[in-house]
Amino acid sequence: METLPADHPARSIIAGYLGQLAASIVLMHSVERIVFGGGVMSDGSLLPLVRDAAFRCLNGYIPALKDPVRMTDHICAPGLGTRAGIAGALFLAQAEYAQTRK
């Protein structure tokens, strides 16, 4: 994604698919937050497009997400940035280790 120009049509296509995914997750699982990270999201320009696409897909169906500003809290980047994956893996390993020590 970082090699594509900002106005490349692939960005809106990818954002549309990820927005549809986010809307489906919201509707099927009633989640409090969706976190998109990894290489595709690394430059930060795709996330607002994903939020817009999800907002359009939901079309006001979820009362708490009728305001596009609320989508910023609902669909976000990982709080630990690029370290989120390794931190999560370490947390799971620590939890598993603690479980086996009981």
Q: What CATH number does residue 52 fall under?
A: 3.30.420.40
Residue 2 lies in a domain: no
Residue 4 within a domain: no
CA separation for the pair 98, 82 (Å, rounded): 26
* Domain extent at residue 86: 9-100
pTM, two decimal places = 0.82
Half-sphere exposure of 36 (CA within 13 A, CB side): 27
Number of structural domains found in the chain = 1
Closest CA to 50 of 89, 79, 77: 77
What is the pLDDT, as a whole number, of residue 79? Answer: 85
Query: How confident is the prediction for the chain on average, in pLDDT?
Result: 91
Closest CA to 22 of 75, 81, 68: 75
Local structure of residue 43 (DSSP, 8 states): T
In a domain, 3, yes or no: no
pLDDT tens-digit series, residues 41-89: 878 889 999 999 999 999 999 998 998 889 999 999 988 888 888 888 9
